[in-house]
Structure 1
Amino acid sequence: MSNRVNVNTHDPTGGIFAALALLGGTAAVGAGLLARRPHGDLAALESIPSRLVPARRSFPFAPSPTVDRRHAVKAARRLNRAAGLIATSVLLDSAVEHYRGAFSNKAMYTPIVVSALSLAASLHGHRDRNTVAHRMRDGVYALAGLTGVVGTGFHIYNVGKRVGGFSWQNLFYAAPLGAPAAISLSGMVGFLAERVRDNRPGTLPTVVGLPAGRVVGLLTSLGLLGTVGEVGLLHFRGAYHNPAMLVPVTLPPAAAALLGAASLGRARQPRPFTRWWLRVTGLVGVLGVGFHAVGVARNMGGWRNWTQNIQAGPPLPAPPAFTGLALAGLAALGLLQDQPDER
């Protein structure tokens, strides 16, 4: 009795370039669709005194002439940039990992397309100085959030159906449980950016009736902790053979704690130490790419065998997720200081 094994003997380089071309085309189409100006009639309301503008929300906040909407737009654009950086990380990481899996399930194309759209939406939001939400950006970000939730379900199923179920072996080498949540983070941060923009002129930015700075800060803290959990599992798989592998599981949790404390504490505080720690966390994401590049070079054949070693890992695009979340945390601190909810 013999088992026949199908081996792909073709050079995969052409497939990689074709995939990149597909992704670039998707991003270009998404950017073109998002280029339409939204809510032109509502954008014009910013030039009208706030007492003459009907409320766009049902939240019982009285207009305040001291509120400068430019700060809210600045924070929203920061969040758009953060969402775009996280989407870029997801786009490249999922493309490599799912290409390695030969796209055995057609659903594996979904995070690539959705993260490309999220990146396009974020680039559009970065350029948008209007003080109203963009409906299509909202839709893309909501789709990204849903994609992450569904993807997590697929990955849980992938681990659970293997022999041994949720054993360490399967948690290490099956579909990574926490990876799809990254695209949900991109959608969450982008959706918050639109909520920060879309408030009645003359009022403090809010999200579902709560101060925007506090909501963004708390959710970003949770995002940091979730990302640390995924990194901790994979670095535990690597037995922390390099002491530098401890950095992304020690510095970001401290950043999450500091940001959470700032979100629950008094507003209008400069909090230089928290800002500094978030910047260091962002730097961890940048330096992580370099450390992972060294890890790829240590595989057999080094970078001369890049088509195989990039797939073998460690994953080059993964660390910048920390940078995106750090940017979101800095935007939250900016909202707390520039537009405090305390009187």
Structure 2
Amino acid sequence: MHSPRRVRELGVVVGTLPTGPLNAITDVPGVLVGQTTITGDGLNTGVTAIVPDGWADALPAAVAVGNGYGKLVGTTQLDELGVIETPILLTGTLSTFRVADALITWLLDRDPRATSLNPIVGETNDGYLSDIRRRPVTSADVHTALDTASSALPAEGCVGAGTGTTALGFKAGIGTASRSLRPAPGVGGVPGAVGVLVQANFSGLLTVLGRPIPAPRIDADGNSCMIVVATDLPLDSRQLGRLARRAIFAMGRVGSDYAPGSGDYAIAFTTARAASYADRDLRAPFQAVTEATEEALLNSLTMATTTTGFRGRTARALPHHLITDALAGH
């Protein structure tokens, strides 16, 4: 049994851009994360809430769909208007609609005049390790995740919406990472941060910095990935859509096989209000989101622990020595 460690603690440095202070989505100013974890009695599930400052006044946003085999509540309005007007919540597949309803209640309590709301709730299928048909997530679980959201380093691995997920043959879960952009003099763009949080639950052959690491097969139900990208760069919704697509591309860097039953989605939003970023300057943000997504996915694995759940099924944690051995001498 190993202790959870972030991938950088194992000597793995993804890309060349510097990280933010926490190397997390909460490095983006005004972005908070809260989580509720549900375990025991055949359950391994929960809720992860991404709560950006200013959500009530609508923030520029976009969604990218790698494969639409999933449930992502609120996407049509998000795509039509190019904004989010609520926090973004993640959970297990069959709890999606209970979480959306609980989010609406939370929102109505804060705005007595509201008559139309567009909750954003995504999911992956944690039915291999959790009795998914019980739909155990309650309104109290959702409200706790929202009310306790903070700017601290979010917990990773077997927590929140990642409590019962697996990826690339190993136990996975929640992962996060960030990149800091400080354009050099004479280079286009403005300073800012790009942060990513993932709920990893997909198949393929784990690949770390280009080196494959075989894993035992897990016959898990459903293989999907939810990716949330946050930034404070002054991007419009079209440009955020371009960032979101790069996040899905980054799944391939860790070995995703983009299986036909996988719901692979990325939502990107900015806390900046006025778009003023030139398309020709997007190279650095593209690199930032690609690197941060790759590292967040690896963190979701190295921070997870072996879990036994529903019907005695077990998903084993990624042995850290497999990474260090594969990268020895490189």
Q: TM-score, normalised by structure 2?
A: 0.25
Write 1 or 2 for the structure with the bigger share of helix.
1
Which protein, 1 or 2, shows the higher relative CO under an 8 Å CA cutoff with sep ≥ 6? 2
TM-score (norm 1): 0.24
